[in-house]
Amino acid sequence: MPTTKAEQGVDGQRRQFLSRSLQWAGVCFSLLLISPLLRFLGYTVKPKPRYVTVAAPLPLSGYHAERDFILFAGDDEPFVVSRTCTHLGCRLNFLEDKQIIECPCHQSRFTPHGKLISGPAKKNLPTFTVETKKTDEGTISGYVVTL
Ligand code: FES
């Protein structure tokens, strides 16, 4: 049992040090326990890629519109752009006479390659990869679009 004031001061500091050490240990232990939960909450599963096959030949217009994308034959190679407007998500239409992709909701306009011409959309259209399938003779038999 401390008898002098100096001994009481040292004892008080020791208690305070032990108390703070226990508090920090408690905080560290709590973080250790909830870290798996935080990791679980922030974990997102990437969707599996979806493959859509489009039969060849494409129409004479040179494009094929599906629900989620528009496939263009292109001069050199085919290319695919999303049909979902980058403004609020309406489904886009390709206007063949004007050679633009237009949104029916607020009239955002894009080039066939998905580059923004006029808003209110602020971003270009996403593009998807397309693989050309050929027969043994070298003629195009179809296209596989990866979404
Ligand atoms: S949703 Fe396409 S311009 Fe608004």
Candidates 2.130.10.10, 2.102.10.10, 2.170.120.20, 1.25.40.420; CATH matching 51-146: 2.102.10.10
Whether ligand 1 lies within 6 angstroms of the CB of 80 is answered as no
Q: Read off the pLDDT of each residue in 66-80 and give the average, rounded to a whole number.
A: 90
Residue 58 Cα to ligand 1 midpoint, Å, equals: 28
Whether ligand 1 lies within 6 angstroms of the CB of 103 is answered as yes
Cα–Cα distance list, 92 to 25, 68, 127 (Å): 57, 9, 14
Q: Read off the pLDDT of each residue in 52-78 and give the average, rounded to a whole number.
A: 86
pLDDT of the residue at 12: 84
Tokens of 32: 């250790």
The closest residue, in CA terms, to atom 1 on ligand 1 is 88
Tell me the pTM: 0.67
Buried b (16+ CB within 10 A) or exposed e, 33-68: eeeeeeeeeeeeeeeeeeebebebebeeeebbbeee
Local confidence band at 87 (pLDDT 50, 70, 90 cut-offs): very high
With 60 as the cut, is the pLDDT of residue 2 above it? no
Local confidence band at 1 (pLDDT 50, 70, 90 cut-offs): low
The domain spans of the chain are 1-44, 51-146
With 80 as the cut, is the pLDDT of residue 142 above it? yes
With 70 as the cut, is the pLDDT of residue 120 above it? yes
- The atom number, within ligand 1, closest to the CA of 121 reads 3
With 80 as the cut, is the pLDDT of residue 8 above it? no
pLDDT of the residue at 58: 75
With 80 as the cut, is the pLDDT of residue 6 above it? no
93, 95, 101, 106: residue to mutate for ligand 1 pocket, most atoms within 8 A of CB: 106
Q: Read off the pLDDT of each residue in 85-106 and give the average, rounded to a whole number.
A: 93
With 80 as the cut, is the pLDDT of residue 82 above it? yes
Residue 120 Cα to ligand 1 midpoint, Å, equals: 7
